[in-house]
Amino acid sequence: MKYIRLISRIIIGSTFVFSGFVKGQDPLGFTFKLEDYLIAYDMTWAMPLVLAMTIILCAFEFTLGFALLLNLRPALTRWLVTAMMVFFTFLTFFDAIYNPVPDCGCFGDAIILTNWQTFYKNVILMVFVIGLIVTRKYEKPTINAGSQWILLMTGFLCFAAFSVYSYRHLPVFDFMPWKVGKNMYPTSYIQAKYYVTYKNKSTGETKEYESHNFPYNDSTWMSEWSFVSQRVDDPSASLRHELQILDSTGTDVTDTYIRNSDYQIIITMYDPHTVPHGVATQLEPLIDYLYNSGHTPVILTAALPEEMKEIAKDYHNRAEVLNADDIVLKTMVRANPGVMLMKDGVVIDKWNWRDTPGVESLKAKFRGFGKQID
């Protein structure tokens, strides 16, 4: 029984620590997921609280896992874990059936699970929760109660502070497609394959064929079989980016900026209404330098045309303000606004607007940055 308890503590505790950490180190990403849930369940009144909810929930989950691994306040931890797992098991079962949000985000962007996979994961964890319940007579903490509370409060507050830090800067680990060092135009594409499924009209048997390799010229066969579905196996799909940059005329100018052979500064602003005061002042020296050197810094935003003109005025019309989808912008830089440096389709570096280096720092770090164009 002691081994059952130890194994249950380790498995549930490790899962909670990992889940809390990957979401808490990217609080803005989990905020987007919670917003999807609030919209799906018609709870938009809670939108102003969503960031605080994210930080508290992630810190709470991390602390529960931390408490299980160190055997802190075992009785209280057991009941909290049980209540949390029962609630989320029922919630994910509902999600799996009705699919209000395609991905629950339980492991952030580190591991993407379908709603059914999430539900099965919770069912498996519930087995170990039962293991904690049936072995509760072995709940014997190894340190005194006062020290346990100190460790729990310290863990919660430290992790909450870490999440706030990650929000004000950038996630420690970037699991998004636009990570530093990523080539957004890889040359090693693998040819996609297309498959079709047909069903025998008499027996109900189904067969899948590669699209060019089924007897479509056999009229007898075609009369006996009916088309059911088609699927695409594209191993390179995850390598392609979904960004589309449009200018004021609706022209796609994505490659002009993303594949620029010079260093290209891209400022992402997925929601101009929530941009903090002082951003323009912070970024103005960099934009002015690039403009005077003959380069074109760009601001990508999902704003309306009238709002885009106002944004351009904030930067004295020295940056090109272009349109892009806000969902894609959220995946590029976890900040509003964020700053990205690209060259030849490769993400060289990126920053929260607060951490954007000065011109001299960029010139020292990246040879040829902002070189004067005659």
Looking at residues 246-263, what average pLDDT do you find? 92
> How many degrees, rounded to 5, is the angle at CA 279 between CA 284 and CA 180?
85
Per-residue pLDDT at 180 exceeds 70: yes
Q: What is the pLDDT of residues 264-273, one digit of tens each?
A: 999 999 999 9
Per-residue pLDDT at 371 exceeds 90: no
207 and 66 share a domain?
no
313 and 197 share a domain?
no
Distance CA 351, CA 184 (A): 18
pLDDT at position 193 is 82
Q: How far from 24 is each of 196, 234, 263, 312, CA to CA, in Å?
A: 43, 32, 32, 34
Domain-ending residue, one of 203, 233, 263? 233
pLDDT at position 128 is 96
User: What is the pLDDT confidence band of residue 198, given thresholds at 50, 70 and 90?
Assistant: very high
Of all residues in the chain, the percent with pLDDT exceeding 70 is: 96
pLDDT at position 210 is 87
By the 8 A CB rule, do 160 and 51 touch? no
By the 8 A CB rule, do 104 and 41 touch? no
164 and 28 share a domain?
yes
pLDDT at position 241 is 75
216 and 125 share a domain?
no
Token look-up 């709870």 returns: 43
| Most confident range, picked from 157-161, 212-216, 248-252, 363-367 | 157-161
Q: How far from 82 is each of 6, 85, 133, CA to CA, in Å?
A: 16, 5, 9
Domain-ending residue, one of 153, 168, 183? 168
By the 8 A CB rule, do 74 and 59 touch? no
Distance CA 91, CA 101 (A): 12
58 and 18 share a domain?
yes
Per-residue pLDDT at 187 exceeds 90: no
pLDDT at position 100 is 87
108 and 217 share a domain?
no
List, edge to edge, every strand of the sheet that includes 320-323: 320-323, 298-301, 264-269, 338-343, 346-352
Q: What sections of 190-278 are H helices per DSSP?
A: 219-224, 254-258
Per-residue pLDDT at 239 exceeds 90: no
Per-residue pLDDT at 240 exceeds 80: no
Assess if residue 248 is contained within a domain: no
User: What is the pLDDT confidence band of residue 194, given thresholds at 50, 70 and 90?
Assistant: confident
User: What is the pLDDT confidence band of residue 104, given thresholds at 50, 70 and 90?
Assistant: confident
110 and 158 share a domain?
yes
Question: What count of residues does the chain have?
Answer: 374
Assess if residue 104 is contained within a domain: yes
268 and 144 share a domain?
no
220 and 261 share a domain?
no
Per-residue pLDDT at 26 exceeds 60: yes
Domain that holds residue 200: 193-233
Assess if residue 222 is contained within a domain: yes
- Estimate to the nearest angstrom the gap between the alpha carbon of 365 and the chain centroid: 28
Assess if residue 226 is contained within a domain: yes
Assess if residue 188 is contained within a domain: no
Per-residue pLDDT at 237 exceeds 60: no
Distance CA 4, CA 11 (A): 11
User: What is the pLDDT confidence band of residue 176, given thresholds at 50, 70 and 90?
Assistant: very high
Total number of domains constituting the chain: 3
The CATH code of the domain that includes 284 is 3.40.30.10
| DSSP assigned state of 261 | S
Strand partners, 208: 197
By the 8 A CB rule, do 279 and 354 touch? no
119 and 21 share a domain?
yes
Per-residue pLDDT at 188 exceeds 70: no
215 and 292 share a domain?
no
Q: Which two tokens stand for residue 152?
A: 């729990």
User: What is the pLDDT confidence band of residue 33, given thresholds at 50, 70 and 90?
Assistant: very high
Can you give the pTM of this predicted structure? 0.83
205 and 282 share a domain?
no
18: nearest Cα among 56, 66, 53, 57: 66
> How many degrees, rounded to 5, is the angle at CA 60 between CA 56 and CA 65?
155
Per-residue pLDDT at 234 exceeds 70: no
Q: What is the pLDDT of residues 108-133, one digit of tens each?
A: 899 999 999 999 999 999 999 999 99
Domain-ending residue, one of 176, 201, 233? 233
Average pLDDT, the chain: 91
pLDDT at position 143 is 87
Q: Which two tokens stand for residue 48?
A: 């102003």
